[in-house]
Each structure stands twice: as structure tokens, then as C-alpha cells.
């Protein structure tokens, strides 16, 4: 079926079987491989993307569900000039990246939270990350990075 939606700021349309997940369509049809398949049952968050600003596990969402909506993947997070977003910079500065497999989902989870509040408590950050597993970092530097990016955005605004 024909699915039309906004992907990383651009209107797109794709002809794909209706039973495919958003994750499969992103990876196999758009070749956006930043979203990963870690479990395919909605437990790990490596496939996370933002749909209308909300963090969703794309392995559980059927692709037709995004019709006429906006989807943001990790590939659409950085500014157009190819530089890094402040949150991405914070991930690097705070050492929040190890193997990197969870990182796209973690950055998007951070963006979803910071869209709601720029001054989350560490507890709030941990709750916001609860659906995103990381086996490498113990989460601490990811929490640090999100808190720092929020504080910096707050200062700028």
C-alpha cells in the first residue's frame, strides 16, 4: 500500500506491504539504519524514533500507522550543516557512548524528554530512559549528558 508521511522534515511516500513494521520500512525502504533491531518485541528501545514528537518503538508500530504523521529518526536530529546537535555533543563530552548500539534511541529519548522540560531531575531522566536498554554504560553518563544539554538549552532561551 502507499504510505505518505513526513520523514526527517521531508514529505515522503512509499509503496510497501501493510504488515511491515515502521522499523523494517525505515531500514529496508529508506535505508535509514540508525534505528536498530535489538529485540523486535518492544523491550529494548534500540529501534526508537519520534512519531509526532512522541518516543515509539518502531519494531512494534505497523508502517501504515504513520500515514500523514511526522517521523523523526536519528538521521534527522543533526542540524542540516552536518554539525552535531547540542545533545549529541553532550553525549560525546560526557562519555555517554560506548558500543553505540543504543545511542540513536537514547538521543531520541533525550530529545523527547527535553521537549517537555529543560530541567528534568535525574529521576525524571531515568524514568524517561526506562524503555531504552543500554548494556555498556550503566546509564550514568547518558543521564549526565541529557541533564547538561537541558541546562544549556535553558540558558540559551
Partner 1 sequence: MAGRQFIGKPARRVDAADKVTGRTRYVADYQLPGMLYARCLRSEWPHAVMTHLDVSPALNVPGVAAVITSADFVDDGRFGFPVRDQYILAHERVRHVGEAIAAVAAETPEAAAAGLHAIRCELEPLPAVFESAQALAPDAPQIGPDRSDGRHPNFLHSEIVRLGDPDRALPQCPVVLDAAYSVAQQEHAYLETEGALAIPTPEGGVVVYASNQSPFINREILASVLGLPADRVRVIQAPVGGSFGGKDDLNYQASAQCAALALKSGRPVRMTFPREESMIASYKRDAMHMRVRLGALPNGDLQVCKFTGRLDSGAYASQSVFTSWRAAVHAMGAYRYEHCHVDIDCVYTNNGYAGAFRGFGNTEVCFAIEQAIDEMADALGQDPLAFRLRNCLRLGDETAFGQRLEESVGLAECLEAVRKASGWDEKRAAYARQPAGPIRRGLGVAAVFHGTSLGAEGADYAASTISVAEDYSIALTSGLTDYGTGAATVFTLIAAEELGTRPERIRLLRPDTNTSLESGPTVASRSTMLGGNAARLAAQNLRQMLDFAAASLLNCPQNRLLRVGEAYIGPSEEPATWERIVDHARSLGLILSAHGRWSAPHIHWDSQAGRGSAYIAYHFGAHVAEVTVDMRTGKTDVTGFWAAHDVGATIFPQGAMGQVYGGVAQGLGYALMEEARYEAGYLQATNFDTYLIPTAKDVPDITCILLEKPYSQGPFGAKNVAEPAMVPAAPAICNAIAHATGRRVRDLPANLERVLLGHALSHSDGGLACKIGLARPR
Residues in touch with partner 1 (CB under 8 A): 27-28, 31-41, 43-44, 46, 73-75, 77-78, 84, 88, 91-95, 97-104, 107, 122, 125-127, 129-143
* Contact between 45 and ligand FES per CB under 6 A: yes
Q: In the bound complex, what is the minimum distance in angstroms from residue 127's beta carbon to ligand FES?
A: 17
CA distance 118 to 100: 24
Of these, 99, 119, 121, 130, which contacts ligand FES (CB under 6 A)?
Answer: 99
Pick the closer one to partner 1 by CB: 25 or 107: 107
Residue 140's closest CA among 85, 105, 94? 94
Of these, 39, 51, 84, 151, which contacts ligand FES (CB under 6 A)?
Answer: 39
The one of partner 1, ligand FES, none whose footprint includes residue 1, by CB under 5 to 8 A per kind, is none
How many residues would you count in the chain?
157
Cα-flanking dihedrals φ and ψ of residue 105, to 5°? -65, -40
Tell me which long-range contacts 54-59 makes (C-beta under 8 A, separation of at least 24).
54/112, 55/108, 55/109, 55/112, 55/131, 56/22, 57/131, 58/21, 58/22, 58/23, 58/26, 59/21, 59/22, 59/23
Residue 3 C-alpha cell reads as 504510505
Of these, 6, 33, 40, 70, which contacts ligand FES (CB under 6 A)?
Answer: 40
How many residues form the binding site for ligand FES (CB under 6 A)?
A: 23
Binding site for ligand FES (CB under 6 A): 37-40, 42-47, 57, 59, 97-103, 134-137
Amino acid at each position: 500500500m502507499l504510505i505518505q508521511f513526513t520523514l526527517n522534515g521531508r514529505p515522503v511516500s512509499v509503496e510497501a506491504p501493510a504488515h511491515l513494521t515502521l522499523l523494517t520500512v525505515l531500514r529496508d525502504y529508506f535505508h535509514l539504519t540508525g534505528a536498530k533491531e535489538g529485540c523486535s518485541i518492544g523491550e529494548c528501545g534500540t529501534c526508537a524514533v519520534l512519531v509526532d514528537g512522541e518516543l515509539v518503538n518502531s519494531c512494534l508500530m505497523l508502517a501504515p500507522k504513520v500515514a500523514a504523521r511526522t517521523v523523526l529518526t536519528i538521521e534527522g536530529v543533526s542540524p542540516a550543516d552536518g554539525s552535531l546537535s547540542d545533545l549529541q555533543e553532550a553525549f560525546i563530552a560526557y562519555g555517554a557512548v560506548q558500543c553505540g548500539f543504543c545511542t540513536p534511541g537514547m538521543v531520541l529519548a533525550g530529545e523527547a524528554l527535553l521537549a517537555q522540560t529543560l530541567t528534568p531531575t535525574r529521576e525524571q531522566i531515568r524514568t524517561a530512559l526506562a524503555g531504552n536498554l543500554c548494556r555498556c554504560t550503566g546509564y550514568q553518563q547518558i543521564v549526565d549528558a541529557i541533564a547538561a544539554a537541558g541546562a544549556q538549552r535553558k540558558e540559551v532561551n
